[in-house]
Amino acid sequence: MQMLQWDESLAVGVTMIDDDHRTLIACLNQLNSADDQDRTALDNALKTLGIYTAEHFNREEVLMEKSAYGDRQAHAKEHVLLNRLYQDHCARISKGEAGRQELLKLLSAWLNRHIRGTDSKLAAHLHKRPGAEATPQIHPPVKGQLTWKSMTVGVIDDSPDWRWMVRAMLRGFGCTTVIEAADGQAFLANSDVQEAPVQLLLVDDVMEPMDGIKMMRKVRKNSTLPSRKALAILMAGDDTIDTVKAAADAGFHAVLPKPFSASTLRQRAEKLMSQPLPWAETDGILRPVFPKRSN
């Protein structure tokens, strides 16, 4: 059951802001569906919401400064107060002094009010300034990166909310071509995947019927697949030694534990893009060759 649904009455007409608001609603719904008995899942949902909220506020504040918005201090103050309220409530949840439903109701009401009031005023200002609505580049690109705009990225995850969040991160980098799938089998069956290369694969670890490890082994074994040599990152629940070893054996370049921020994803991906690894095939599986660590 969704806590809050996006509808066009919440749109302010600025792509970056509307996309971020859709993603924040997805974060709220992910938190709403978390199991109270699964402390790890609940903590991750809270962290994901906190990370994306901070990044959204940062983007808005850069946008306000660059567009010389007169009410930016009052707008930013609302961000500070909400963030403080969120952190305090998370601390109370961890101590068992409050529940997530109370937090969800508070955040849903705040977001609804903030969008229809404060953000609508900002949007009206931006509409009057040609070019002011452009998404600000919060995370500068690293030297030697591939151009995000020209890339095709695969996002494979069984959570629609998580796929939406990752897609929103990618849009912030300038990537406009994203292929989504709910599991490895669905991704490999996609005709676009069979016909044209995907440069980056962001793959969840636990999915049904085909998880991330099984999917990557099939990708690296298929000599006719255009994406056989795609850069691949496993979006895992942890980055323990066992997880990293299993990922490397399947042909992944890296493990990125959830939840992660847009800046973490971008920095990890661009570092791997700018420093491509050689390949070696053993037992029919193509794997990146990692440099040996010196003792």
> What is the CATH classification number for the domain harbouring 97?
1.20.120.50
Mean pLDDT over all residues of the chain?
Answer: 89
> What is the CATH classification number for the domain harbouring 207?
3.40.50.2300
pLDDT band, residue 3 (cuts 50/70/90):
low
For residue 143, what pLDDT is reported? 45
Same domain, 114 and 38: yes
Contact call for residues 18 and 12 (beta carbons, < 8 A): yes
Burial (CB count <10 Å: 0-12, 13-18, 19+), residue 108: middle
Contact call for residues 196 and 228 (beta carbons, < 8 A): no
Residues 32-85: pLDDT tens digits? 888 777 788 888 889 889 988 998 999 899 999 989 999 999 999 999 999 999
Rank 142-151, 154-163, 179-188, 269-278 by mean pLDDT and report only the highest. Answer: 179-188
Same domain, 160 and 230: yes
Q: Is residue 182 assigned to a domain?
A: yes
Q: Is residue 2 assigned to a domain?
A: no
pLDDT band, residue 2 (cuts 50/70/90):
low
Contact call for residues 120 and 14 (beta carbons, < 8 A): no
Same domain, 223 and 112: no
Same domain, 111 and 35: yes
Same domain, 221 and 187: yes
Residue-wise burial string across 39-53, b where 16 or more C-beta atoms lie within 10 A, e elsewhere: eebbebbbebbbbbb
pLDDT band, residue 272 (cuts 50/70/90):
very high
Q: Rounded to an integer, what distance in angstroms lies between the CA atom of residue 259 and that of residue 187? A: 22
Residue 131 clears pLDDT 80, i.e. is over it: no
Q: Which domain holds residue 243?
A: 148-288
